[in-house]
Amino acid sequence: MPNPPRKNGLRKDQRPVTEADYDEVRRLHAQGLGRNAIAREMGRGPRTVSVIAAELGLVFDVTMTEEATRHRVAQLAALRAETAIDLHLDALKLTQSMWEPAVIYNFGGKENTYAYEHVDEPPAIDKKNLMAAAGIALEKSLKLVPPAEDSGAEDARSMLGQLMVGLKAAYDQAVTEEAANGEAEGESP
């Protein structure tokens, strides 16, 4: 039974692998070509080249592929960070627009007329919608670039604790000084 046509209308190459194919893979590999380049050069499938190379004990250098992958991953991380910043800025614009002058409008009536009015700030329903949109932008931003695990909460608790100790000491000192001033005033004639 013949092989079915491939997507491009050609039949899969059924040529048997010859000793010349082994020699060609060995030669092209020695020139530093990768698997796909060798396959294109020989008119063979990448899988055929992989099998021949494995039988010959040849290994393809993947450092370029690994480096290219690392580069692409870094580019994607940078794009995610930029998009997260844009979303944060969008959220800021949306929340600021809740308190700025706006135009409210309506189409209606049997004549389908357009009516509008300038207002000092958007109506409550529009503020609600603006806040919802800002919330969605922030949520998406945080999904793109989650905050670091160490949010500084422990440092903040420590600082607040030290502040409370300092405030208590200042209060105690003020009470002591007030009491001393009261006794001194009571002793004078």
**pLDDT digit string, tens, across residues 115-146:** 999 999 999 999 999 999 999 999 999 999 88
Continuous segment of H or E residues that includes residue 66: helix 63-96
Which secondary-structure segment (H or E) carries 156? helix 153-187
Please tell me the distance from the alpha carbon of residue 87 to that of residue 139, in angstroms, as a whole number. Answer: 9
**Mean predicted confidence (pLDDT) in 140-156:** 77
Q: What is the pLDDT of residue 1?
A: 45
Where is pLDDT greater, at 76 or 164?
A: 76
pLDDT at res. 135: 93
**Looking at residue 151, what is its pLDDT?**
59
pTM: 0.48
Q: Quick check: 60 and 34 in contact, CB under 8 A? A: yes
